[in-house]
Amino acid sequence: MSETAATTTFRTWMCVVCGFIYDEAQGLPEEGIAPGTRWEDVPDTWTCPDCGVTKDDFEMMPL
């Protein structure tokens, strides 16, 4: 995989508590997180919109 492809591949993260999916490509515009926002750029104070847990309770999903 080229470096360009690696930097443009968006990942998804799943809440281990409720199953909510955060997709970097889609972001969460309704929460003020623009499409294309990487997981590491989501504020640490952000919480799952479905169950309220923190980013610590999310796991990256396999590509």
Banded model confidence at residue 59, pLDDT cuts 50, 70, 90: very high
What span, in angstroms and rounded, lies between the C-alpha atoms of 4 and 30? 29
Neighbours of 13 (CB within 10 A): 17
Neighbours of 11 (CB within 10 A): 14
Specify whether the CB–CB gap between 57 and 29 falls below 8 A: no
Give residue-wise pLDDT tens across range 29-55: 999 999 999 999 999 999 999 999 999
Q: What is the pLDDT of residue 63?
A: 79
Give residue-wise pLDDT tens across range 8-35: 799 999 999 999 999 999 999 999 999 9
The reported pTM is 0.84
